[in-house]
Structure 1
Amino acid sequence: MELRQLAVVVAVAEEGGFTAAAQRLRTVQSTVSTVVRALERDLGTPLFHRTTHRVVLTPAGEAFVPAARAALAAAERARAAVAPVGGRVRVGVCPGLLLDLPRVLATLRHVHPGLGVQVRQVAAAKAEDAVAESVVDVALAAVAGDTPGADGFATQVLAEELVLVTAPGGSRSAPADLAGLSLVDFPPGWAVREAVDRAFPCREVGLEVDDLGVAGGIVRAGLAACVLPESAAARFADLTVRRFERPSPWRVAAVHRGDPAVAAFLAQLR
């Protein structure tokens, strides 16, 4: 099984036919048909129902195509990790992800100096639409359940827990407990705020800020505690970080299309 075969099957599935897939791949329809038939022989099962007017996936094809997309995306990331990429990548970021984007972008520029990057804010509810409508090439969003990506690829880039951050000098081994604590939180609509709202709906919010550094300073001064993703909390080495007995997940995914420039960007997020 070759990556070229996977790409052909994905193209047929996404375009709904062999002729349209051939146009997308800049080849002829007979070549696409030959590649698909050869792969179906190797697999021992048909991937498509062929009718006069259109082509639809069989149950085996429904199972195969997502795995093929994932394999193609992994191959692009591996290639991007070692091969310089040029062009441009447009990145959409949902507010409140608290990612260390300066580090990511600096590393990306070092590895791929010829790659231009544009970053813009996108609403979480519009992340998939922004990719589907080519407003951005990749959109980063927090996910509460399954990784999204109906019309393209979706890659989980971060999977960790929410933790409690308190003033320096506290016990790091004791389980986290919000009882009696006043918290500094982030604005409604921010991804981290929505995640903390789901996990701790009855907490007491004493302060609200729109800057991670300010939140860290408030915690350092002993004015409030803060619930943060592990990776964000790790930027404050002097503060006390404790885990909750019942873990609250924090996951960030990238919704994107298959593209070398996107793969180069995603490689720096891992």
Structure 2
Amino acid sequence: MDLREMKVVVAVAEEGGFSAAARRLHVAQSAVSSAVRALERELGAALFHRTTHRVSLTPAGRAFLPAARAALRAAEEARAAVDLAQGELHGEITIGVMQGLHGGLATALADFHREHPGVVVRLRQAPAADIPRALRDGAVDLAVTALDTPVPRGLSTRLLSREEMVLVTAPTPDGLPSEGPVTLAEAAGLPLVDFSPGWAVRHEVDRAFRAASLERTVTFEVNDLLAAADLVRQGLGVCIMPPSLAARFPELPVRPFTAHAPAWTVGVVHPRGDLSPAVAAFLRHVRLLRAPDD
């Protein structure tokens, strides 16, 4: 088997189909199909279930995928080591990110690209709860994500920021004092714009209300930061979010909580052990990553 065939199989698995994999790899779909069939013949096992509507991994495919990723990663590391010895850095890294990019990440990516233009960087957005598994499976090389649960074994973390969330309101909110901090109980009594389950912000807000033994009614549930801000702007509800996200909407007032504010902790997470030169180089940039107003 060769690395090209492994790369094709990984692309089909991650993109969920042969056509999408062909677009990602910039080749004809027939070339993708041929590479998969050739590898399946060599292995003596089907790697994918194929139907007219979907493509999914077989048990053999699920067993093959992590090993294929590891082999591709090892090949990238070998190539990057030679490039580094020659004063250049090439390769590819995949970064897992949660919904709502952490403030400053785009700047760090731009700085990294200027310094290492030969490294291809891919971003994969996923719920924060799914990112540790993606790291263990090798689907992403590192992640910038909320640190809302204990880190699984085999992963290392570096703290980037810690904030107390705030209440974002319309310029003239109903049902609140005109100014000053608010309580969680006051927020619970208002129409709330919440993020969907799976968002790290939602997880922390749920936890804060449970700890305070407060019930609340989710009036609007959205999966989009801009949609949440639009609803708040129209006076349809209030929203709880980290200050670093609220800062993107300076026209919307923010109110701190008097106590028991939901916590928001963000860090960079990566597998323990040796890292590829490209990943190690990006980590040097991300060490200084901070929200714009920190």
Report the TM-score, using the length of structure 2 for normalisation.
Answer: 0.55
Whichever residue aligns with residue 132 of structure 2, its letter is E
Contact 1:209–1:215 (8 Å) recurs in 2 = yes
**What is aligned with 2:270?**
256
Contact 1:159–1:251 (8 Å) recurs in 2 = yes
Identity %: 41
Contact 2:181–2:257 (8 Å) recurs in 1 = no
Contact 1:164–1:242 (8 Å) recurs in 2 = yes
**What is aligned with 1:117?**
121
Whichever residue aligns with residue 128 of structure 1, its letter is P
Q: Does 1:184 align with 2:193?
A: yes
Q: Does 1:196 align with 2:205?
A: yes
Q: How much has 1:178 moved relative to structure 2?
A: 0.5
Structure 1 unaligned blocks of 5 or more? 1-82
Q: How much has 1:143 moved relative to structure 2?
A: 2.3
Aligned-pair Cα RMSD in Å:
2.7
Following superposition of structure 1 onto structure 2, how do residues 104-253 of structure 1 map, counting pairs within 5 Å?
A: 104-146=108-150, 148=151, 150-169=153-172, 171-176=178-183, 177-201=186-210, 202-246=215-259, 247-253=261-267
Secondary structure of residue in 2 paired with 1:269: coil
Secondary structure of residue in 2 paired with 1:200: helix
CA distance in 2, matches of 1:84, 1:181: 56
Contact 2:166–2:242 (8 Å) recurs in 1 = yes
CA distance in 2, matches of 1:112, 1:267: 17
CA distance in 2, matches of 1:244, 1:189: 24
Whichever residue aligns with residue 131 of structure 1, its letter is L
2:102 to 87, 91, 99: 99
After superposition, give the CA deviation of every residue in 1:139-166 in whole Å (9 maximum; x if it has no partner). 23322355x2521421112211111000
Structure 2 unaligned blocks of 5 or more? 1-86
Contact 2:127–2:200 (8 Å) recurs in 1 = no
Contact 2:192–2:218 (8 Å) recurs in 1 = yes
Contact 2:148–2:200 (8 Å) recurs in 1 = no
Q: 1:205 to 1:98 in 2, by over 3 A?
A: farther
Secondary structure of residue in 1 paired with 2:120: strand
Q: How much has 1:85 moved relative to structure 2?
A: 5.6
CA distance in 1, matches of 2:180, 2:116: 42
Secondary structure of residue in 1 paired with 2:231: helix
CA distance in 2, matches of 1:153, 1:104: 20
